[in-house]
Structure 1
Amino acid sequence: MSPTAVTTPLRDYRGRFAPSPSGPLHFGSLVAAVGSFLDAKANQGKWLVRIEDIDTTRVVKNADSDILHTLQAYALNWDEPVVYQTQRLDLYQDVTQTLLKQNLIYACRCTRKQIKAIGGIYQGHCKSLNHDKTTGALRLTQQYPTTHFSDLIQGDINVNKALAVEDYLIKRSDGLFAYQLVVVIDDIDQGINRIVRGADLIEPTARQISLFKQLNSPTPEFAHLPLAVAEPGFKLSKQNYAPAISKQNPKPALISAFEFLGLPISTDLIDLNIEQLIAWGVKNFSLKQVPKVPEIQISQHPTHQAVQFTHLSK
Structure 2
Amino acid sequence: MEHTRYRGRFAPSPTGPLHFGSLVTAVATWLEARAANGDWLVRIEDLDPLREPPEATDQILHSLDVHGLHSDEPIRFQSRRHPAYQDAIDHLLGNGKAYRCSCSRKQLQAHGGRHPHQCRTLKAVSGGSPHAIRFALIDERCQWMDLLLGPQQQTVQAELDDPVLQRKEGFYAYQLAVAVDDIDQGITHVVRGSDLLDMTAQQQQIFQALGAAAPQWLHIPVILNDQNQKLSKQNHAPALDDSKPAANLVHALAALGQHPPELLFSATVDEVLAWARAHWQRTAIPLTSQQARGITPSTQSHLDH
Alpha-carbon distance between aligned partners in 2 of 1:25 and 1:118, rounded to the nearest angstrom: 39
Structure 1 portions without partners, runs of 5+ = 1-9, 310-314
Q: CA deviation at 1:112?
A: 1.0
Match of 1:5 in 2: none
Q: CA deviation at 1:33?
A: 0.3
Alpha-carbon distance between aligned partners in 1 of 2:203 and 2:228, rounded to the nearest angstrom: 23
Match of 2:246 in 1: 251
Q: CA deviation at 1:271?
A: 2.8
Amino acid at match of 1:133: G
SS of structure 2 residue aligned to 1:147: strand
User: 2:14 touches 2:52 (CA, 8 Å); kept in 1?
Assistant: yes
Amino acid at match of 2:168: S
Match of 2:27 in 1: 34
Match of 2:61 in 1: 68
Alpha-carbon distance between aligned partners in 2 of 1:294 and 1:152, rounded to the nearest angstrom: 17
Match of 1:177 in 2: 172
Determine which of 231, 240, 245 is the counterpart of 1:236: 231
Alpha-carbon distance between aligned partners in 2 of 1:281 and 1:299, rounded to the nearest angstrom: 17
Determine which of 27, 47, 59 is the counterpart of 2:40: 47
Determine which of 86, 89, 96 is the counterpart of 1:93: 86
Alpha-carbon distance between aligned partners in 2 of 1:250 and 1:182, rounded to the nearest angstrom: 31
Residue correspondences, number: 299
TM-score, structure 2 length as denominator?
0.90
Alpha-carbon distance between aligned partners in 2 of 1:186 and 1:277, rounded to the nearest angstrom: 31
User: 1:256 touches 1:307 (CA, 8 Å); kept in 2?
Assistant: no
Match of 1:149 in 2: 144
SS of structure 2 residue aligned to 1:234: coil
User: 2:251 touches 2:296 (CA, 8 Å); kept in 1?
Assistant: no
Determine which of 9, 12, 29 is the counterpart of 1:16: 9
User: 1:123 touches 1:166 (CA, 8 Å); kept in 2?
Assistant: no
SS of structure 2 residue aligned to 1:70: helix
CA RMSD for the aligned pairs? Answer: 2.4
Amino acid at match of 2:270: E
Match of 2:125 in 1: 131
**Deviations 1:218-251, CA, capped at 9 Å, x for gaps:** 2111001111011575100011110111111112
In the TM superposition, 1:191-202 aligns within 5 A as: 191-202=186-197
User: 1:299 touches 1:307 (CA, 8 Å); kept in 2?
Assistant: no
Greater RCO (Cα-Cα under 8 Å, separation 6 or more): 1
In the TM superposition, 1:76-91 aligns within 5 A as: 76-91=69-84
Distance 1:301 1:287, change over 3 A: closer
Alpha-carbon distance between aligned partners in 2 of 1:286 and 1:23, rounded to the nearest angstrom: 30
Amino acid at match of 1:88: R
Alpha-carbon distance between aligned partners in 2 of 1:42 and 1:61, rounded to the nearest angstrom: 35
User: 2:92 touches 2:98 (CA, 8 Å); kept in 1?
Assistant: yes
Match of 1:281 in 2: 276
TM-score, structure 1 length as denominator?
0.88
Distance 1:148 1:302, change over 3 A: same
User: 2:43 touches 2:77 (CA, 8 Å); kept in 1?
Assistant: yes
Match of 2:162 in 1: 167
Match of 1:312 in 2: none
Amino acid at match of 2:126: D
Alpha-carbon distance between aligned partners in 2 of 1:126 and 1:222, rounded to the nearest angstrom: 32
Structure 2 portions without partners, runs of 5+ = none
Distance 1:255 1:169, change over 3 A: same
Distance 1:111 1:307, change over 3 A: farther
User: 1:145 touches 1:207 (CA, 8 Å); kept in 2?
Assistant: no
Match of 1:221 in 2: 216
